[in-house]
Amino acid sequence: MDRFNEMRAFAQVMEQRCFSSAAETLGLSKGSVSKQVASLERRLGLALFERTTRQVTPTDEGRMYYDRARQILDETARADLIARAMKCATSEGETLRVLAAPEIVDHVVMPRIGGFLQSMSALRVDFRCDDDPAEPNETEDWDVALAVTPAELRPLASRVIGATRGMLVGSRDYLDREGVPRDLSALSLHRLLRENGTPERGWRLIDEDGADVSITSARQLLFRDRRSQLAACQSGLGIALLPDYMVREDLNKGRLVPVMPGLSSRRKLISASHADTATPSRTAVLFEEFLGQALMQYG
């Protein structure tokens, strides 16, 4: 238990970069949290933080240890969550309310939910859309929220069930007509199919070495949603940057082809969270578990 408490104290300090804030979150004194972190460092024989009077900065070893520690803490919390949910009975004719962006429902949930529905034949599933599924409205009625966000914007108390990257794609008709770009200067001459409402006038990507790359063009079509971007791309109107889960089927069937595959967006996380983290419904936990396993198995 001491090891677990030390790990939990360390993780809170790591996430909040402050011993006082971590202590407040854990309901402990600052001195107690400091002692637990110091004990962990002595046991490991290395420094996890560089401490000054102004700030707490993780060392390289601290960052590496945090990645593993966070997984252990998340899985422990997950085990508790499942145990609590299993005590709850599934009622006949129950409704599972899933909050997610339409493209997540279309391309992440729909191809995989059939097996879950076969085991829950009397279940009704209500898919709901929110303007910002990364920050679900707490006043709305929902059971499970699915979100795709950068790692640093992952919703609190959520569980990672998958990962995705954006990739550049175009239709064969468009590329036959406009030519296949081989470098950044050629790509900047193409029509870009972009999401509206973003401050950038182009795309921020990374190359195969992880270096940042910026792409823009005078020729652009802007859309409010990714469904429209995908439809425009399929219709041969330009090159789109879309999540891999949205274009996988079109790529497999040859309706779209990769463009400059060495470029992609940074990795994002697919996460699931519960409206009631204390006692989530049994069905909500089973759904999340099923979807996580399906994404792990089939991608």
Question: Rounded to whole angstroms, how far apart are CA atoms 87 and 279?
Answer: 9
Nearest to 189 by CA among 199, 178, 198, 200: 178
Total-model pTM: 0.72
Pairing relationship of beta strands 220-223 and 192-195 according to DSSP bridges? parallel
Q: What per-residue confidence (pLDDT) applies to 9?
A: 92
> For residue 221, what pLDDT is reported?
96
* Phi and psi angles of residue 118, each rounded to the nearest 5 degrees, phi first: -65, -35
Give the C-alpha separation, 172 to 164, whole Å. 24
Give CA–CA dist 290/16, Å, rounded: 32
Q: What is the DSSP letter of 238?
A: -
Token code pair at residue 227: 């469904």
Residue 273: pLDDT band (50, 70, 90) is confident
Note the pLDDT tens digit of each residue in 275-290.
Answer: 876 667 788 888 988 8
- Grouping H, G, I as helix, E, B as strand and the rest as coil, residue 162 is strand
Q: Give the residue from 41, 11, 39, 38 showing the smallest Cα distance to 26.
A: 11
Distance CA 215, CA 239 (A): 12
Residue 160 gets the label, from left (phi > 0), alpha (psi -120 to 50) or beta, of beta
Give residue-wise pLDDT tens across range 44-96.
Answer: 999 999 988 778 889 999 989 988 888 888 788 777 777 766 665 555 668 89
Structure confidence by residue, pLDDT tens digits, 16-29: 888 998 899 889 99
